[in-house]
Amino acid sequence: MIILQNIKTPQQLRLMDATLLPQLCDEIRQVIIKTVSKTGGHLGSSLGAVDLITALHYVFDTPKDKIVFDTGHQAYAHKILTGRLDKFNTIRKKGGLSGFLKIYESEYDAFGAGHASTALSAALGMAMARDQKKETNKVVAVVADGSMTGGIAYEALQNAGQLKTNLLVILNDNQMFISDRVGALGTFLTKLMTKKYMLAAEDEAAKLVGKISNKAAKIAKRAARSILFSDALFGELGFRYYGPVDGNNVAEMVNILRQIKDVPGPVILHTVTKKGKGYAPAEAKPVKFHGLGIFDAETGETIGASDKITYTGAFSRALVKLAQEDESITAITAAMPEGTGLSAFRDKFPGRYYDVGIAEEHAATFAAGLATQGIKPVVAVYSSFAQRCYDQIQQDVALQNLPVVFALDRAGIVGEDGPTHHGVFDISLFRNIPGLIIAAPADENELQHMLKTAFEAKAPFILRYPRGSGAGVEMDKEMKALHIGKAQWLQKGKDANILAIGNCVRPALAAAEILKENGFDCGVANMRFAKPLDGVAIKEALAASPRIITVEDNMLAGGFGSAVLEHICDAGLKAQALRLGIKDIFVEHGKQAELYNDVGISPAKIAAAISKKYKKED
């Protein structure tokens, strides 16, 4: 790190000779590769954006000028260049740097970024605030092409075109989402780079002025490109369009940014970057290296992968098996076939698979439309992303009682990705919707049975399950439908009984064993369904002991425990209740086990909370 070690702030970066920038970018890439190989994280996008980010901080007066990143997983170079190099080895670790952007982590993080398609709206808000305050700073939104498939991005584009304020949008086009790019926009962007008549026009323009200088020829090429395409989409929305330009050429990026930074009104600069740039394994396998765990930096091979089937893998296998038996089963993803386990379904049944891009709202209503015609759709999406389609699930699916299955992966605490990705709100969010069934499996075997149950329910159905490896239980060869709203008693206790759901069932059992060693007899019920509840199981628990404990990996406010207490109250029952789950906080990032312990739902913490409460009452 000959150059990088001397760059503590963007102000120091801007004092550098521009000829040193390519070497600096190489050094940044090496730091990212070395660090992420040990911590895990989002590698491909961050490597691809190094040159672009370096050029932005070199040209713009940050933090006075605002750079707003979309999602944030492309912004590791931004963290390194803004005073966080010394802490970069703590990224995604508990107490360390976040893997995404946080306004309270650095003054250079203009806006928090974890979910896609938000940068344009946030940047436009900042630009209008600047105008209201009669200030003159620049505002730049850096948006990956995948994020442009989100509806909120288009809402912001049309609003920006209407307001006509000074705003630069960098469209960082790496020809990928998390997986392969899909949709009409992707096709359009590809055409911008490949149309024969565009290339011919560039050549003719360059010939006309080429005798003046090579620099003039390059400018003429860009002008021809912009004239041809500025009105094709972005021009009609009120933007001046420039590009496409090579976003992995830092010198070219510095030159073009200097040329357009003072252009008035809304401007789009279309840059083309390569995901995984500078690291051969990531360039060759961009999907794998979008986000991954620890790996060998020399070979790119993953280290320490579990042999146990993951919950995602169990869902994937069960879905393919069910789809082989039922041709009406159809799968939908919002640009995450690998992350949600739908890649196997896609490869097996391409005619029944739909990737709608980063458009969860559309996915839900699209599924509703399929369901009206006798198709059995499953929408596989991360729990935290399902928050975006509440209205569609309520209005378009549940209100019409359409049999759509929502497979919410990453429910509960996800670990190192932190608060933007923890799936700890879904039970509270969706439990109030009439007619909606919410189920959570205690292990991977139960998950496959619940998926079969979901397709046979003939009602709106949410199946939530956690990130990571399953419990390692034996998988039944045949799937069977479960009794909806029926719990499973694992053991009954005379001193107290735990009603646990989903990923908290096994920790509850372990806690009961700890309590048993201390002479406290505690039962455990696997409740299976947050809605409808098993009122009989609740009554049985209270008959054995008035002491009842609920355990969930969801927010306590409005969650599973609240549902149990509502039932107790409505049924006129009496209980000495304790609710364990996530309190009124945003859970930070760290390893899953660390965070479950922090929020009080590890086996030891469950046992301690029960002992503390009922010891006082004794």
Q: Write the CA distances from 601 to 204, 555, 583, integer angstroms.
A: 68, 12, 11
**CA separation for the pair 168, 180 (Å, rounded):** 26
Active site residue 360: yes
Active-site annotation holder among 275, 317, 506, 528: 275
Under DSSP, is residue 172 helix (H, G, I), strand (E, B) or coil? strand
From the list 224, 330, 286, the residue with the least C-alpha distance to 48 is 286
Active-site annotation holder among 66, 376, 388, 410: 388
**CA separation for the pair 150, 178 (Å, rounded):** 14
Is residue 179 within 8 Å of 338, Cβ to Cβ?
A: yes
How many residues would you count in the chain? 618
**What DSSP assignment string belongs to 114-129?**
-STT-HHHHHHHHHHH
From the list 399, 395, 346, 379, the residue with the least C-alpha distance to 180 is 346
| Burial class of residue 514 (count of CB atoms within 10 Å of its CB; 0-12, 13-18, 19+) | middle
**CA separation for the pair 365, 584 (Å, rounded):** 31
Q: How many CA atoms lie within 13 A of 274 on its CB side?
A: 13
Q: What backbone torsions phi and psi does residue 282 show, to the nearest 5 degrees?
A: -75, -35
Active site residue 133: no
Active-site annotation holder among 360, 361, 446, 552: 360
Active site residue 275: yes
From the list 433, 334, 320, the residue with the least C-alpha distance to 381 is 334
Active site residues: 275, 360, 388
